[in-house]
Chains A and B, each alone.
Chain A
């Protein structure tokens, strides 16, 4: 059955099955947008937690670390309640839309990016910012230099955030509703196909998911390696 499923999966992909490719496209759009949102929120938050000196900083760091392991179903539940027709943001009419999925997935990835960004910043020499300022940098330029210095672990943070959202199914199912042609992504489609006994289709979705995950990881790993200048002594 597994071999048959693999053969069918390859056939579906090679023949350009319309549904498969539209689901793949939506998956990429939702996951990459959610990751970008998580980076926009998480990098400043993580930087602030790493460099800031304020009361409650350690508690917030611990909260961010805890958030890394937050079950997507719980996040999905909260976002659903928020976006429910009678909920606080119900008037926006976002539930069961790709936007809702992006919000939920960004909420999943943000703690991951925040915690890993804080860890990345704390790995840089504590006097790095002082030295940049002592060379004449403005606060902003010094901060950008710090981000550039921590670019490799920051890329890893982005990678981890993307990995967390592209593979999750619980939140996407709850806030997206798995509507065909609208909010169906690879993970929810794979779950549905498996439930219907369409194993070839489910395996095809799984394969595409693996290829996407590998491609994104490969791209970022190559970027990391290019950024790592190594010269023989």
Chain B
């Protein structure tokens, strides 16, 4: 079963929280919705499940046909961002979704058991759910949703707030479960690694609008505009004044290198001179801020930085690691994630939305560099 929406608009009072002209998730497919805090990701998820607050306009579709609340209740199971468990044992919590759908207690418990095993929480079956750790509680919440055998599964940041080890373990288990589920899955996240690990397609949602949609590797590797670039970690911005390229170039700061005063320019790389402003140790990496003739840029490096503030340095980044990036819709300044205020030809996500890698954008060629 597929789920989708058409002309979906969610408002709170006079404020528009979300405007999605079209979005579809097909059966067996996992789509990640990636966006910064406050972008409307959870609003989208709740709107698709028809459990959200605010006024909802537009159409929610199941298998391409408009769906009512009852049909959605039967088909969809959603896991909210915080694991909200009932005052009961883990087993009864995992069975709770089935109980809420009218399944008898013994049958519900029987159907819950395999999902305890699938999520690795069988040993917790008789534990009071209120004594669980964050990771365990999240596993219970996911198992509870899976136990109802949903044809559409909506997950709202299921791995947020977990420590690195727990997160990695749950990510692996979740990936395995989703591959076998065969349901249409929409997973909301602000972590691109989660999107890469779980989703075949990724949607970038900024300020309630879909700004880019396409296969996950394509979207994560080719941001459509500066807002998308910032969201995807391409935060080192190299304006035309520095590069001679007609549009802004962006790169991941961890892909940039700091060249010493005597080092030769590397081949097939963009080199930008500047003055070292500060060096900030960040545990495993070091952030180096550099003042250039146009604007400050930052580098993240694991190498030892011997230069001090005021030193003349050069920033180098391989051509393959640089992306062209026009400003986002409505953006007038660097870093502005403004609401789209101009009409563009409608793409899958509507005005201002780019489908996959834009034809006119890509990696700059050597001739653009100086």
Binding site for B on A (CB under 8 A): 125, 127-128, 130-138, 141-142, 145, 148-149, 151-152, 227-231, 233
CA distance A133 to B45 in the complex (A): 13
Binary interface profile of B, 125-148, with partner A (CB < 8 Å = 1, else 0)?
Answer: 011100100000000000011001
Contacts of B88 in A (CB 8 A): 229
Interface residues in B40-59 by Cβ distance below 8 A to A read 46, 49, 51-52
From the candidates A133, A134, A149, A228, name the one contacting B154 in the complex (CB within 8 A): A134
Could you write out 7 A-B pairs with CB less than 8 Å apart?
A131-B78, A135-B96, A135-B148, A145-B86, A229-B128, A230-B131, A231-B126
Asked whether B257 is an interface residue with its Cβ less than 8 Å from the other chain, the reply is no
Contacts of B73 in A (CB 8 A): 133, 136-138
From the candidates B46, B97, B127, B131, name the one contacting A135 in the complex (CB within 8 A): B97
From the candidates B46, B100, B128, name the one contacting A132 in the complex (CB within 8 A): B100
Q: Which 4 A-B residue pairs are closest in the complex by CB-CB distance?
A: A134-B78, A137-B100, A135-B97, A131-B84
Contacts known (A136-B97, A137-B101, A145-B100); A127 close to B87, Cβ less than 8 A: no
Specify the chain A residue showing the minimal Cβ separation from B82. A127
A230 to chain B, nearest CB (A): 6
From the candidates B74, B76, B87, name the one contacting A134 in the complex (CB within 8 A): B76
Q: Are B87 and A135 in contact (CB under 8 A)?
A: no
CA distance A130 to B84 in the complex (A): 10
Contacts of B79 in A (CB 8 A): 134
Interface residues in B121-178 by Cβ distance below 8 A to A read 126-128, 131, 144-145, 148, 150, 154
B213 to chain A, nearest CB (A): 24
Contacts of B292 in A (CB 8 A): none
A129 to chain B, nearest CB (A): 9
**SS class of chain A's interface: helix, strand, loop or mixed?**
helix
Contacts of A229 in B (CB 8 A): 87-89, 128
Contacts known (A135-B77, A135-B148, A136-B77); A149 close to B127, Cβ less than 8 A: no
Asked whether B319 is an interface residue with its Cβ less than 8 Å from the other chain, the reply is no
Number of A-B contacts (CB under 8 A): 75
Interface residues in B201-225 by Cβ distance below 8 A to A read none
B122 to chain A, nearest CB (A): 15
Q: Are B128 and A135 in contact (CB under 8 A)?
A: no
Q: Are B86 and A149 in contact (CB under 8 A)?
A: yes
CA distance A132 to B96 in the complex (A): 9
Q: Are A135 and B89 in contact (CB under 8 A)?
A: no
A224 to chain B, nearest CB (A): 11
B111 to chain A, nearest CB (A): 14
CA distance A148 to B105 in the complex (A): 15
CA distance A168 to B78 in the complex (A): 49
Contacts of B49 in A (CB 8 A): 133-134
A137 to chain B, nearest CB (A): 4
Asked whether B80 is an interface residue with its Cβ less than 8 Å from the other chain, the reply is yes
Q: Are B77 and A231 in contact (CB under 8 A)?
A: no
Task: Give the interface centre of A136, A137, A230 by most chain B CB atoms within 10 Å.
Answer: A136
Contacts of A138 in B (CB 8 A): 73
CA distance A138 to B72 in the complex (A): 11
Specify the chain B residue showing the minimal Cβ separation from A128. B84
CA distance A134 to B84 in the complex (A): 11
Q: Are B84 and A127 in contact (CB under 8 A)?
A: yes
CA distance A137 to B76 in the complex (A): 11
CA distance A141 to B74 in the complex (A): 14
Contacts known (A134-B76, A134-B77, A136-B100); A231 close to B127, Cβ less than 8 A: yes
Specify the chain A residue showing the minimal Cβ separation from B97. A135
Q: Are A231 and B128 in contact (CB under 8 A)?
A: yes
CA distance A55 to B101 in the complex (A): 33
Contacts known (A127-B82, A141-B100); A133 close to B76, Cβ less than 8 A: no
CA distance A124 to B102 in the complex (A): 23
Contacts of A132 in B (CB 8 A): 100
CA distance A231 to B148 in the complex (A): 26
Binary interface profile of B, 180-218, with partner A (CB < 8 Å = 1, else 0)?
Answer: 000000000000000000000000000000000000000
CA distance A142 to B102 in the complex (A): 12
Q: Are B84 and A125 in contact (CB under 8 A)?
A: yes
CA distance A127 to B127 in the complex (A): 23
CA distance A131 to B83 in the complex (A): 9
B115 to chain A, nearest CB (A): 13
CA distance A233 to B131 in the complex (A): 7
Contacts known (A127-B82, A231-B126, A231-B128); A136 close to B87, Cβ less than 8 A: no
Specify the chain B residue showing the minimal Cβ separation from A228. B87
